[in-house]
Amino acid sequence: MSNYLSMDRAAREREFTAVRSEYETLRAAGARLDMSRGKPGFDQMDLSHAIFDTVTNATGYVNRTGTDCRNYGGLDGLVELKELFSEILGVAPEQIIVGGNSSLNMMFDTVAQAMTHGFGGAPWMRQGTVKFLCPAPGYDRHFAICEYFGIEMIPVANTPDGPDMDRVEALVRDPSVKGMWCVPKYSNPQGITYSDETVRRIAALRPAADDFRVFWDNAYAIHDLYDTGDTLLNVYDACVQAGNPDLVIQFLSTSKITFPGAGVAAEAGSPANVALLKRRMSFQTIGPDKLNQLRHARLFHSPDDLKAHMKQHAAILRPKFEAVLRAFDEQLAGTGVAEWTTPRGGYFISLDVLPGCAKRVASLCEEAGLILTTAGATYPYGIDPADRNLRIAPSYPTVTELEQAARLLCVAVRYAALEKLLA
Ligand SMILES: Cc1ncc(COP(=O)(O)O)c(C=O)c1O
């Protein structure tokens, strides 16, 4: 494609006429497409259908250690799942709490606990302004938790290796900075994995606040698209080596392994952190849904079972990612008005358009029947200062729908860019 930035005005006008007519044709086709949320497709959920036969009257309800999963008890979850998650999280099973159906819920509760009861110190809410470092673009629901609790968000740019660590190291010298969100593997939305160096620098942080915690949301820990996935350094080991065992609290869930909203979530940390979390939980609940935990334990007996299952997810997701990336290569490469990530796992592609155009691209798409994640949602307070980032979620539509959607998106990106360049 010709570079829009180096075209003269007459060439841009000719190109705009052609792009506008293509857009009008697509709009008239009246599509109904949605690339807004990272939901698994129905065929991905079908992969876990055997789970419904794992806990029946015939199989019984008792786990390996003799717990009747129909009854109350077992605050921190079944040992089978602690063992299963132990390899992924890189900590001992005793350092894992297996909870309910949502890791986001566990993150929310952990922040709430710190606000009202502190995390080894005075309640955060009694210590004046509370600030969080928010690598951006990032996950909108992390930012929503901060907004809910009135936590001031400080955006930190993401590099291909993870958050800009020079800035993070400088910012944690402020004692009101109490936390930091991290999606360390196949991040939402860029699909980047933190380098070893970034993980080590995070683990070695010396924040002014003793009760500072890193919220390590490893939502896409095993969600590779290719046989060789990205590798992430064991953050807990790095923390221990740096003399900082309490710094990081990890989260994961099976939302995108079995069923979103009906999976199992877990939280992990140092023995001291786990003790604090369990104390709060002992007031909050008599125990999690162990029947659902048992179903998961019986579906996945070992990390190898999980790996085999994730390969089946990858086989469904890979062509979807590739359809979108192929469209970007064919229809945007060389225009100079778009850049995108090429993740090797996770659920998202991040698309940066010409600054000042993301909102316009989203509205052009919407008018033509394609819903995208709200422009700006990937930044704290919903404000993308450059108005350029769009999160693309290719998991839910079919490949054919994605081809249609990606074509429309590319036309909208070019339309908005030319409109701006000609203004
Ligand atoms: C980074 C990240 N964390 C957490 C979640 C939600 O996880 P859960 O379903 O376990 O609450 C998502 C879902 O999109 C996500 O992208």
Q: What domains sit in the chain, N to C, each tagged with a CATH number?
A: 4-44+307-422 (3.90.1150.10), 61-301 (3.40.640.10)
The protein residue whose alpha carbon is closest to atom 6 in ligand 1 is 104
Separation CA 205–CA 200 (nearest Å): 9
The protein residue whose alpha carbon is closest to atom 15 in ligand 1 is 219
410: left (phi over 0), alpha (psi -120 to 50) or beta: alpha
Answer for the pair 354, 371: CB distance below 8 angstroms, yes or no.
Answer: no
Residue 236, pLDDT above cutoff 90:
yes
Residue 232, pLDDT above cutoff 90:
yes
Ligand 1 centroid to 234 CA: how many Å? Answer: 20
Ligand 1 centroid to 183 CA: how many Å? Answer: 10
- Decide: 102 in ligand 1 pocket, CB within 6 A: yes
Residue-level pLDDT at 279: 97
Q: What is the DSSP letter of 59?
A: T
The protein residue whose alpha carbon is closest to atom 16 in ligand 1 is 188
Average pLDDT (39-49) is 96
Beta bridge partners of 251: 217, 267
User: How many helices and strands, by DSSP H and E, does the chain display?
Assistant: 13, 13
Answer for the pair 252, 222: CB distance below 8 angstroms, yes or no.
Answer: no
Question: What digits encode the pLDDT tens for the residues 120-172?
Answer: 999 999 999 999 999 999 999 999 999 999 999 999 999 999 999 999 999 99
Question: What digits encode the pLDDT tens for the residues 187-221?
Answer: 999 999 999 999 999 999 999 999 999 999 999 99
Helices (H), 356-398: 358-367
Residue 397, pLDDT above cutoff 90:
yes
Calculate ∠ Cα 373-375-380, nearest 5°.
100
Residue 280, pLDDT above cutoff 90:
yes
The protein residue whose alpha carbon is closest to atom 12 in ligand 1 is 219
Residue-level pLDDT at 353: 98
Residue 240, pLDDT above cutoff 90:
yes
Answer for the pair 235, 216: CB distance below 8 angstroms, yes or no.
Answer: yes
- Decide: 267 in ligand 1 pocket, CB within 6 A: no
Residue 1, pLDDT above cutoff 90:
no
- Decide: 109 in ligand 1 pocket, CB within 6 A: no
> End-to-end alpha-carbon separation of the chain, Å?
22
Ligand 1 centroid to 26 CA: how many Å? Answer: 33
Complete DSSP assignment for 164-194: -HHHHHHHTTSTTEEEEEE--SS-TTT----
104 Cα nearest atom in ligand 1? 11
pTM assigned to the model: 0.97
Answer for the pair 336, 3: CB distance below 8 angstroms, yes or no.
Answer: yes
Residue 14, pLDDT above cutoff 90:
yes
Position 37 confidence tier, pLDDT thresholds 50, 70, 90 = confident
The protein residue whose alpha carbon is closest to atom 2 in ligand 1 is 219
- Positive or negative torsion for Cα 202, 207, 211, 212: negative
348 Cα nearest atom in ligand 1? 16
Question: What digits encode the pLDDT tens for the residues 306-351?
Answer: 999 999 999 999 999 999 999 999 999 999 999 999 999 999 999 9
Separation CA 236–CA 245 (nearest Å): 7
